[in-house]
Amino acid sequence: MDGPRLTRRDEVNELSDLLCRVFGFDQHYERATFVRELLRPIHLRGGVVIAEDAKPVSHIFHAVESVSVYGCRFKAASLGGVCTDPGYRNRGYAGRILEESLARMTAAGARVLVVSGNRSLYQRNHCVPAGEVLETRIYRGMLPPCRPGLTVRRFTSEEWPALAPLNEAEPVRFVRSADFFSKCCCWWDISHPELWLISDGERPLAYLSLLTPWREENKRSRTVGDYAGCRTAMLDALPLFSDADSIQEINLRFPRQDRELAYLAASRGLQTKSATLWGTHRMLNLPGLMRDLRPYLSGRLTGRDLRRLSFDQRGEQCTLSFGAERLELDLSQAAGLVLGGPQAPEVEGGLGRALGAVFPIPFPMPGFNYV
C-alpha cells in the first residue's frame, strides 16, 4: 500500500478511470476534458489517494476556501469524490484517506467541513445535516408574467468578472476571485448548470444557476444552485426561464437568513418548508471559528457576556463555558448547535441565553463551490 498521500500528476489518467468507473463521470465529461481539469492545482493540492499495483485505488478530494459572514472571514473545507475501486474495498482505505484529509484541512486553517454526501463513513466521523434553509417548488404558471423591462440570457463562466460585484454584495458568501471559474473544482458542473443573468436594459440585477437533476428522467425540472443580486428581479424573472427552456418546475432553496427572499416568496403565495443545506457538515476547529467570528459575536452580546463566553476543543470533544456554566459536546452536536440542525442540544441557563443570541451562525449554500 502506498499512501495516503497527494495525487501525483502522472497518476491523473488512472485516477480519471477510477472516478469514471465509480461515479459514471464519463456521462458528463469528455475524457480529455476531465483529465485536463483534474490537473488543475486545486485538484492536485486536495486529491488524496492510496495506490496499489502502481495505480490509485482509493481517493478523496478536498478544497479549502474562504467564507465571509457579515464581513468576518474564516476558512471552510469541502470534500467529495470519495471512492474506492471495487476490487480493493473492505480494507479500510476510505477511512484512512478521510483521516489524512481531515488533518490536512485542519492544518490549512479550515474551521468547518462541508461534505457532499451522508454515507455511514461520514456519519461515523461526526458529519451531520446542518445549516438552516427554506425551500419551495415553483411550477409553471404559478407566478404572474414577468414585469416589462426585465430580460434574461445565458452567460458563460468567462463573464464572471463582470458579475462578481453581485456576489461581493452578498452578506454571507464564499469569497470568489475574478478568475474563480478557471481555478475552481471541476465537479461543480456535473449537473450541467445553466448560468443566467437577469438585467434591466444594460444593467445587471441578479444572476442564478439552474441545475439539471443528475441521473433523473425529469429533465424539465431545475434547482437553483447559486444566486446573487436583486431578489425581486430574480423572482419576477422566473417565468422567463420557463419560457426559454420549457422548464416545468423550479426547486428554490435559500438560507434562512435571507429574510428578503423569504418575505418576497411569501408575498407571492409560495409555501416554504424548513430543510438543511445539501450534504453534511462537521466542525473542525470550534475555538478558531469563534475567534474569526468575534466581531459577529460582539454585535450580538454585551461586552460582559462576550468575556464570560469561551470555547475549547480537545480532539472530538468541545467545551462551551459561560462563567461557571459548562456544556460538553461531541463534534456532531457542536455542528448542529453552531450551524443549526437536528443534532443541536437544548441549552438552558445563562449559557443557553448567550448561545441563543449567536447561534446558529449564517452559512452560505455551496453553489459553485460545491464539491
Q: Are 370 and 174 in contact (CB under 8 A)?
A: no
CA of residue 275 relative to chain centroid, distance: 14
pLDDT of residue 217 exceeding 60, the answer is no
Confidence class for position 111, pLDDT limits 50, 70, 90: very high
Mean pLDDT of 82-105: 96
Confidence class for position 330, pLDDT limits 50, 70, 90: very high
Q: Are 308 and 322 in contact (CB under 8 A)?
A: yes
Check for a shared fold between 2-108 and 133-276: yes
Per residue in 59-87, pLDDT (tens digit) is 999 999 999 999 999 999 999 999 999 99
CB atoms within 10 A of CB 356: 11
pLDDT of residue 245 exceeding 70, the answer is no
pLDDT of residue 214 exceeding 90, the answer is no
User: Which three cell numbers, joined as nine digits, stand for 324?
Assistant: 461557571
Domain boundaries, the chain: 2-108, 133-276, 286-358
**pTM of the predicted model as reported, rounded to 2 decimal places:** 0.92
pLDDT of 241 reads: 79
pLDDT of residue 272 exceeding 90, the answer is yes
Distance CA 19, CA 82 (A): 9
Mean pLDDT estimate for the chain: 92
Confidence class for position 181, pLDDT limits 50, 70, 90: confident
Contact partners, residue 126, CB within 8 Å, separation at least 6 = 282, 283, 316, 330, 331, 332, 335
Determine the Cα angle at 127 with ends 327 and 222, to 5°: 130
**133-276, which class in CATH?**
alpha beta
pLDDT of residue 258 exceeding 90, the answer is yes
Which amino acid, residue 182? Answer: S
pLDDT of residue 294 exceeding 60, the answer is yes
**2-108, which class in CATH?**
alpha beta
